[in-house]
């Protein structure tokens, strides 16, 4: 049985009833996985690559991950924060930390995947979507993956295109609006995980092998986010 180890922040976290209806992508992704695939979500609210590593969560993965497993690495929301506990530099410490994750996977014969953060749901007073809320961090992920040959799924670009296309009003039910425009409700977690799984399928085997057959989300909503 293959296991997905999912490292990330509050947009990924497997939430319990005490934070309902907030849901993370590791929950939403369960609907797309074959019964033979196990989800092991290590994502935690508020974590960056730095704080995740410093708290020993990558060590937990290192002790459990095995050959043929997958390590999904999705950060960016908190690496940009200014506090010493979480902040990383997109040109230096952020890519260095990403490679620490990749090396753990590779050392065990597992498959690392870098995932850029989902877009924040930000619109101006005219209803125009405002992209770029994660600054240079998504590009740092893309560049690091390209340099070191790690697959990158660019959820930032995909979700920015989606939010811009469908608009302010339609996207409110997917997020914890009006409380905030970052965290997801169950419907949003399933939607965003669907975008991720569409891209995994494009990577081919072994990434597509963990997924059930389905119509891609982008076809359902009539979007071209290629």
- Is residue 226 assigned to a domain? no
225 is a domain residue: no
Residue 185 lies in a domain: yes
Read off the pLDDT of residues 163-202 as tens digits, 9 standing for 90 and up.
Answer: 999 999 999 999 999 999 999 999 999 999 999 999 999 9
Domain that holds residue 165: 3-220
Query: Residues 129-150: what's their mean pLDDT?
Result: 97
- The answer to whether the beta carbons of residues 130 and 123 sit under 8 Å apart is yes
45 and 112 Cβ atoms separated by less than 8 Å: no
Q: Say which DSSP state 175 is in.
A: B
Q: Residues 4-22: what's their mean pLDDT?
A: 95
Range in 191-195, 205-209, 216-220 the model is least confident about: 216-220
DSSP string computed for 37-82: -EEEE---TT--HHHHHHTTHHHHHHHH--TT-EEEEE--TTTTS-
Question: Tens digits of per-residue pLDDT, 84-98?
Answer: 999 999 999 999 999
- Two structure tokens written together for 214: 């389905």
How much is the pLDDT for 135? 96
pLDDT band at 215 (very low <50, low <70, confident <90, very high): confident
Tell the residue number behind the tokens 């071209």, with chain if given: 224
Judge whether residue 6 has pLDDT over 60: yes
Say how many domains are in the chain. Answer: 1
CATH number for the domain that contains residue 68: 3.40.50.1110
10 inside domain: yes
């Amino acid at each position: 049985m293959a296991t997905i180890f999912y490292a990330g922040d509050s947009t990924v976290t497997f939430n319990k009833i005490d934070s309902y209806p907030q849901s993370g992508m590791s929950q939403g992704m369960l609907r797309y996985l074959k019964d033979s695939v196990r989800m092991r979500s290590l994502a935690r609210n508020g974590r960056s690559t730095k704080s995740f590593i410093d708290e020993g969560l990558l060590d937990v993965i290192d002790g459990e991950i095995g050959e043929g497993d997958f390590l999904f690495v999705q950060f960016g929301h908190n690496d940009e924060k200014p506090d010493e506990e979480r902040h990383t530099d997109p040109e230096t410490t952020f890519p260095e930390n990403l490679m620490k994750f990749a090396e753990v996977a590779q050392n065990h014969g597992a498959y690392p995947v870098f995932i850029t953060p989902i877009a924040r749901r930000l619109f101006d007073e005219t209803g125009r979507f405002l992209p770029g809320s994660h600054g240079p961090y998504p590009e740092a992920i893309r560049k690091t993956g390209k340099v070191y040959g790690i697959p990158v799924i660019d959820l930032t670009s995909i979700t920015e295109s989606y939010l811009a296309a469908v608009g302010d009003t339609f996207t409110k039910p997917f997020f914890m609006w009006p409380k905030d425009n970052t965290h997801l409700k169950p419907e949003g977690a399933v939607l965003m995980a669907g975008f991720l799984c569409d891209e995994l399928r494009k990577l081919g085997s072994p990434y597509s092998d963990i997924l059930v057959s389905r119509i891609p989300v982008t076809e359902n909503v009539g979007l071209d986010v290629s």
